[in-house]
Structure 1
Amino acid sequence: MDVALLTIGDELLSGDTANTNATWLASRLTDRGATVARVLVVPDDRELIARKVDEYADAFDAVIVTGGLGGTPDDRTMDAVADAFDRSLAVDERARESVEKRVAAIRDRYPDIDIDVAAEASIPEGSQVLLNDPGLAPGCVVENVYVLPGIPEEMEAMFESVVEAFGGDMRSRVFYTNTPEADLIPDLVATEERFDVTVGCYPDREARHNRLKLVGEDSAELDAAAEWLRERVETVPAPES
């Protein structure tokens, strides 16, 4: 399963906010055997978001869009996704009820809160609503596009509600070595030539080791490749987390 991640927000491009959502999603998807084929950061530009959603929906098995949901002027994602599928926004009654309950729950703390509930609860017509239990703005699923909030806590909770939709056959084997990266190159190249796997080498200068990661679809092939490489590379225990 090939998945594209589309993260939305001017604040990501300016460096004001770290793109932790992309890292978290990529890790969760990889753990489930899916392949993250693209990660793209897009500004709060309705036309551009719509164009990339349309393009990626055709090119990949699934698209996850995060960020730009809500009622502020820069929250343009839901409109853009509706544009991509040539749909109008419509109030979802489950979303309306959820937003109303959330507003009521926080009104004591924020007595002057002014929320356009109908606008907040609007999603593309015919889409599946994803309720936002920790937050306010709902997400949705339109065909193979999953629209999630940008706030990490809300995004993670909403993703877990649809996690079973994502999977695949990709597996990996990971081990560590203190051997310098340049000295590893011949063995890494030979591993890819002998086995149906891809090999990545990721240096950690602070820990002074290299993390080697073998990726493939066949577990037996992965085990054979890992064993073959371990015979040629001196490994060290995994670092403590």
Structure 2
Amino acid sequence: MQVALITVGDELLAGDTENTNATWLATRLTERGASVERVVVVPDDVDAISTEVSRLAATYDAVLVTGGVGPTHDDVTMDAVAAAFDRELAEHPDAIAYFEDHGSYEYADLTEGTTHLPAGARLLENSVGVAPGAVVENVYVLPGVPVEMQAMFDAVAEEFSGPGTHVEFVTVDAPESSLLSAVQDLRDRYDVTVGSYPGDEVRVKIQHEDPDIAHEAATWFEDRVQR
């Protein structure tokens, strides 16, 4: 399952807020065996969000959009997702029922606008906040507040899956540039995915769907670089 992530917010582009949502979602999706192919950051702008949603929804199995969901002036993500699919944004009966059931519909300052979802959307309940999320075709719209986003994703996590990969790490006390030949030989020999992460030492990440192949490749590589 190939997935793209869109994180929405002027504050992300300005560097005022760290994009922890993208990291958290990418980690959880990878753990479930899905493949995260793109991470895009866009401003709080309807046209910008709508353009990316349209482009990525046509390319990947699923798109997760986080941020810009709620009753404030810059929360325009629902409008943008509706526009991406040429749908109306209208008061959604499931959203009204959700707020009535949770006793918060009378707080107009909190719920104004949050009962409006793209036509035909599936409501995603917000178990730890106010604004609900939605699913429109293959696009999942989640809040930007991390604790709310995480709870909402956990509620639909079973909808994301894949064969997964087994990961092995080899730590090498050598310059990363000295490993080029060994890494190429490793890829040629085992057809594995390889990443290297320099620091005080270099951590080489070796991945394959078959755990036996990943382990054999890691053992071969470790022997090679130690020699």
TM-score, structure 2 normalization: 0.92
In structure 2, the partner of 1:194 is 189
Q: Shift of residue 139 of structure 1?
A: 0.4
In structure 1, the partner of 2:75 is 75
In 2: Cα distance, 1:131 partner to 1:118 partner? 16
In structure 1, the partner of 2:172 is 177
In structure 2, the partner of 1:55 is 55
In structure 1, the partner of 2:208 is 216
Q: Shift of residue 145 of structure 1?
A: 0.5
Q: Which amino acid is 1:131 matched to?
A: E
Q: Which amino acid is 1:67 matched to?
A: G
Establish whether residue 7 from structure 1 lines up as the match of residue 7 from structure 2. Answer: yes
TM-score, structure 1 normalization: 0.86
Q: Which deviates further from its counterpart, 192-201 or 19-28? A: 192-201
Equivalent positions of 1:39-54 (< 5 A) are 39-54=39-54
The runs of 5 or more residues in structure 1 that have no matched partner are 108-112, 235-241
The structure 1 segments of at least 4 consecutive aligned residues displaced by more than 4 Å after TM superposition are none
In 2: Cα distance, 1:195 partner to 1:229 partner? 10
Q: How many residues align?
A: 224
Q: Which deviates further from its counterpart, 175-184 or 95-104? A: 95-104
- Is the contact made by 2:71 and 2:112 (CA closer than 8 Å) also made in structure 1? no
Residue by residue over 1:17-40, the C-alpha shift from the partner in whole angstroms, topping out at 9 and shown as x without a partner, is 000000000111111111110000
- Is the contact made by 2:66 and 2:149 (CA closer than 8 Å) also made in structure 1? yes
In 2: Cα distance, 1:171 partner to 1:13 partner? 32
In structure 2, the partner of 1:17 is 17
In 2: Cα distance, 1:154 partner to 1:24 partner? 13
- Is the contact made by 1:170 and 1:215 (CA closer than 8 Å) also made in structure 2? no
